[in-house]
Amino acid sequence: MTELWNTLVYYFSFPFVQYAMIVGLLIALCSSLLGVTLVLKRFSFIGDGLSHVAFGAMAVAIVAGLTNKMIIIIPVTVLSAILLLRTGQNAKIKGDAAVAMISVGALAVGYMLINAFSKSANVAGDVCSTLFGSQSILTLTKSEVWVCIAMAAVVLAVFVIFYNRIFAVTFDESFAKATGVKADAFNLLIAVVTALIIVLAMNLVGSLLISALIIFPALSAMSLFRSFKQVIICSAVISVICAAAGIVLSVLFSTPVGSTIVCADIAVFIVFRVISMIKER
C-alpha cells in the first residue's frame, strides 16, 4: 500500500501529471452538467455525433500539418452542432438519421484522409490516440491547460447564470416559449456548449468515449434523485470523483486514461441502479 502511495506521489510530482488531473476534473465537471440536459432532451446522440465530427476535423488538421489543431476543430464542431439542431427542427431527414449520417461520414472521411496523406510513420497510433485518447492527456502544455481552464470557466458561468432557464427549456419547451423564454436560442446555446465540451474532452478520453462522460453520470444520478437540482449536483460529483479515480488508477497501473475513467463511470452506474432497484422494492 505504501509502495503504491509512494509511486503516486512520485508521479504527481511531474507537472504533466498535475496538468492531466486539473484538465481531467474540469472536463468531467462540465460534461456532467450538460449531460443531464442532453439526456433529458433526448439529445444524447448529438454528443456522440459531434465527437465523430471532431475526429474528422482533427484528421484534417493533422493532414494540413497545423500545430494548433483547435483552429479547425472548434469551428467545424460548433458549426455541425448548429446544423444538427436545425435538421432536428425542419426534419427533412429525421434527427437521429441526420446525426448517424454526419457522424459515420466524418469518421470515414477522417480516417481516409489520415491514411492517404499523413506524413507520420505511425498512422495506426495517431488514429488510435485520437479515438481513445491514449496519450494526449499526458502531453498537455501549460498554455493548453490555461485554455481548458478558461473554457471550463465559461461553461460553468453560462450554466449557473442560465440554470433556471435551461431547466424550463428542458422540462417543457412549449411552455417556456409561451412565457417568452427564447427556447430556440437556448437550444443553440446548449448545442454550442456541447460542441466546446466535446472538443475539450477529446484530449481526455478520445472522441469515441466522450459520450460515456456525458451520459453515465447523468443516468446514474437520475436513477436515485428526484429533483433537477439534486440530479445536477449528484451527476457533477459522480463525474469528478470517477475522473479523479480513473486518472489515479491509470497512473498506478498504467492503463489507458480514457477507458479507465469510463469504466469507473460504468461501475458507479451499476451500483446506483442496484441501489435504486433495492429501494423500489
Residues forming the site for another protein (CB under 8 A): 40-42, 160-165, 167-168, 170-172, 174-181, 222, 225-231
Q: Cα separation of 41 and 28, whole Å?
A: 20
**Judged by CB, which is closer to another protein: 11, or 162?**
162
Q: Are 138 and 257 in contact (CB under 8 A)?
A: yes
The separation between CA 266 and the C-alpha centre of its own chain, rounded to angstroms, equals 15
**Judged by CB, which is closer to another protein: 104, or 160?**
160
Q: Are 24 and 201 in contact (CB under 8 A)?
A: no
183-205 helix and 15-40 helix, angle to the nearest 10 degrees: 140
C-alpha count within 13 angstroms, C-beta hemisphere, residue 16? 8
CB of residue 269 vs another protein: minimum separation in angstroms? 15
CB of residue 229 vs another protein: minimum separation in angstroms? 7
**Judged by CB, which is closer to another protein: 119, or 226?**
226
**Judged by CB, which is closer to another protein: 145, or 231?**
231
CB of residue 168 vs another protein: minimum separation in angstroms? 4
44-64 helix and 123-132 helix, angle to the nearest 10 degrees: 150
**Judged by CB, which is closer to another protein: 109, or 233?**
233
CB of residue 152 vs another protein: minimum separation in angstroms? 19
Q: Are 140 and 202 in contact (CB under 8 A)?
A: no
Residue identified by cell 484530449 is 203
Q: Are 11 and 17 in contact (CB under 8 A)?
A: yes
CB of residue 180 vs another protein: minimum separation in angstroms? 5
